[in-house]
A and B are shown apart, each in its own frame.
Chain A
Amino acid sequence: MKTNQGLTQFEMKTEFLTGNSPYSGKVLRVNLSTGEIWVDEHDDDFYRKWIGGRGLIVYYLLKETNPKIDPLNPDNLLIFAPGILTGTVLPGTGRHAVGGKSPLTGALASGEAGGWWGAECKQAGFDAVVIQGKAEKPVYLWIKDGGAELRDASHLWGLKTGDSQEEIRKELDDEKIRIAQIGPAGENLVRYAAVMHDVNRAAGRSGLGALMGSKNLKAIAVRGKFKVGLANKEMMKITQKWITSNYKDMMGWAIQYGTAGSVKGNHDSGTTAIRNYLDGSLEGIEKLDATSTFTWLIKDRDTCNRCPVRCKLVASHEGEITIDPRYGGPEYESTAGLGALCQINDPLVVAKANELCAAYGLDTISTGGTVAFTMECVEKGLVDGFEFVPKFGDGQSLLESIEKIVHREDIGDWMAEGSARMADRIGMGSDQFLAVARKQELPYHDPRLKNAIGMGYAVSATGADHMANLNDTFATWDGSDICVRLRELGMETPLKLWGISDHKIEAFFYETAFKNFLDSAVICHFYPYEFQHMVDAINGAGGWDVNMSEIIEIGERIIDAARMYLLREGFTAEDDMLSARLFQPTQDGPIAGRAMTPEYLKEALQRYYKRMGWSEQGVPQDEVLERLGIEEMSS
């Protein structure tokens, strides 16, 4: 395959060029095995049905990939998908999705990242980028103003993300280029490697970085001059004006400290898992909270395209442990996974671990989960024969673990496979220490407190996923955005906290439909948008006449299509389950003695299947697929 041959140009349609359409109608296709570059053209019906983002990812995976392929097979697709609203004027739309078959779970991988890349991709003239094949040597894809070119990346292979970004920008002589890329973790096929954007925004979950590495694709650099337009600007202004008037009041928590301001609160409420889910509390947790770190470690704030909130933290420090501000700062999930879960309360260590994960391209959630699992195995004497082993509470051993995982050295080679595969190798009952769903390490919203989130982890096609889910502790307070949305639908609120009632399953159905819509549009979940706001926004973008029912149906379609993909890849209802540790309560702390049983979860899942119109085996019924217009995809 030849590289550096110049841009292959594609003509843009008039509505897009004149700023009257939020999409170009063109999905860029690249075959890395042959070097071919072309576009798929889609009409208005396609965008109204699939929206973009996760919807587009599921569509392509079902339509074009062979069932049960190895995720690292060149025939797997790697898809970068902004949504219909990405790059528009609406606040909160500086996001896009990345997807494919997951190297970690073998199921759907669909991770959303903030930053600037998604909007820039659309401004470059493409609604999505679908990659197939494998390059014979490292390459990167350069996309600019309706054109695309494969370029040699041999000199970038092995570089940390920050250094690679600087090299690409220098090479293409443009400091404003936006870059999606992998670090050495993805190159070395670590199963939970992330795709990094703008160096510090991760499409982190499910090993998309390993998928990218398996294709010898180091990066996708984008730069665009087109304007992402709207079909009905007045309609969009309704939602735009509402959020502009209300975000300061409703998103005060994000404006003040970002998610890291919730570290202590989440700990105190039993949300955060401590010491691999063994303990109820961690001494010194307050040191990790942003209310403490803002005084000395967090030096700046950053933001995403079209976002006035600026919730991204930028850490910086000089001393024995230096923190490079290019890599941002630890958010809540990263702090919980790399800190509390590993029994570490040193904010400098956590910030350094976060920096290493961004620089090497690792998912912080799975990194924390895998290291903590290993620490427990070490503590219980199940691991030997290695030169190095990590220990609970030992910050240096966390940092060393990350280095060894990335380079697959010593025990790091086992850890690079994720905790579930590691338990298979260790044996001796170590699977009892796992906190996973579909082999993916859990985010730090403990299902022993949040039972509906636990059901969501178990049933989601994306494995343990806290975003496209129902957050129990939000649904139990009438002032929350979730309750406002549920009342929009005529539901009674608030919900009861414990258990998974029929009431909660109904709320779960609507919230997951809404969140799957958001992940397709693609919009930040922190924004407190209601259904009607999305109706106005989507009609403003597309010039459509969508109503609330259609928004729900779009979300439901994406959930069902993802379910069909999951079943096609060999999963069954038996796989809709949490691992053993998550049914074992803590002995002390705010949720002492609390946990679902596997039987209770199975029974709740049966009620959820019924609500979805699925069989007892979790299979969507023909009439549901027909109603959603995806019956042809079931074969």
Chain B
Amino acid sequence: MSNFRNSKITESAHLILDKPLVAQRMEVEVAAGQRYTDVLKRFITKPGVAYVVLVDGVVVDQNETIQPGVEIRCVPQIIGG
């Protein structure tokens, strides 16, 4: 569990994005209460990329609402091979 989730901040969540979804690894605080997909669209702008959202290591639907205090990661997806 990250230190962040042990902190007293409860109205936001911690978003971690890695390459290749973004040019450089980034960690930001995002407000809870929004849909994951709406927040992620602001950061991931590469065309043709799909990914799965993990919240505290568990897959969630991107249409769900961000809960306070969670850690959000995104995993890029490919098909076939």
Q: Which A residues are within 8 Å of any B CB, using their own CB? A: 246, 249-254, 256, 258-262, 265-266, 268-271, 331-334, 445, 449, 466-467, 471, 473-474, 476-482, 494, 496-498, 525-526, 528, 590-592, 594
Contacts and interface: CB of A to CB of B under 8 A. Distances in A.
Contacts of B20: 252-253, 256, 261
Contacts, number: 121
21 contacts: A249-B46, A249-B47, A250-B47, A252-B20, A265-B51, A266-B77, A268-B73, A269-B54, A269-B59, A449-B52, A467-B79, A471-B77, A471-B79, A473-B51, A473-B77, A474-B79, A477-B37, A479-B48, A494-B62, A494-B63, A590-B57
A479 B44 contact: yes
A480 B62 contact: no
B41 interface: yes
A269 B57 CA distance: 8
Counting chain A CB atoms within 10 Å of each CB, the highest count among B58, B60, B78, B79 belongs to B78
Contacts of B44: 479
A274 to B, nearest CB: 15
Contacts of B80: 259, 332-333, 466-467, 525-526
A476 B61 CA distance: 8
A590 B54 contact: yes
Interface in B1-48: 20, 37, 41, 44-48
Given A269-B54, A590-B59, A252 B37 contact: no
A265 B81 contact: no
Contacts of A466: 79-80
Contact of A494 (B37, B54, B57): B37
A580 B32 CA distance: 39
Counting chain A CB atoms within 10 Å of each CB, the highest count among B51, B58, B62, B80 belongs to B80
Given A253-B78, A494-B63, A526-B80, A590 B58 contact: yes
Given A269-B59, A498-B61, A590-B59, A332 B48 contact: no
A253 B37 CA distance: 21
Provide the main secondary structure of the chain A interface. loop
Given A259-B80, A262-B77, A477 B50 contact: yes
A480 B78 contact: no
Contacts of A333: 80-81
A519 B75 CA distance: 28
A481 B79 CA distance: 11
Contacts of A258: 81
9 A-B pairs closest in CB distance? A259-B81, A250-B48, A332-B81, A269-B52, A480-B50, A497-B61, A331-B81, A262-B78, A269-B75
A594 B78 CA distance: 21
A262 B76 contact: yes
Contacts of B54: 268-269, 590
Contacts of B45: 479
Contacts of B61: 476, 496-498
A331 B76 CA distance: 16
Contacts of B37: 477-478, 494
B50 to A, nearest CB: 4
A525 B52 contact: no
Nearest to A467: B80
A228 B78 CA distance: 31
B46 A525 contact: no
A94 to B, nearest CB: 15
A498 B53 CA distance: 13
Contacts of B75: 265-266, 268-269
Nearest to B76: A265
A87 B44 CA distance: 36
Contacts of B47: 246, 249-250, 479, 528
Given A268-B54, A269-B52, A269-B59, A479 B77 contact: no
Contacts of A525: 79-80
Contacts of B73: 268
B48 A269 contact: no
A261 B19 CA distance: 11
B48 A480 contact: yes
B81 A474 contact: no
A459 B46 CA distance: 34
A251 B20 CA distance: 12
A229 B59 CA distance: 48
A251 B49 CA distance: 8
B59 A270 contact: yes
B41 to A, nearest CB: 7
Contacts of B49: 253, 477, 479-480
A479 B58 contact: no
B48 A496 contact: no
Contact of B51 (A252, A477, A590): A477
Given A477-B51, A494-B37, A592-B58, A252 B79 contact: no
Contacts of B79: 445, 466-467, 471, 474, 525-526
A450 to B, nearest CB: 10
B78 A259 contact: yes
B52 A252 contact: no
A592 B81 CA distance: 25
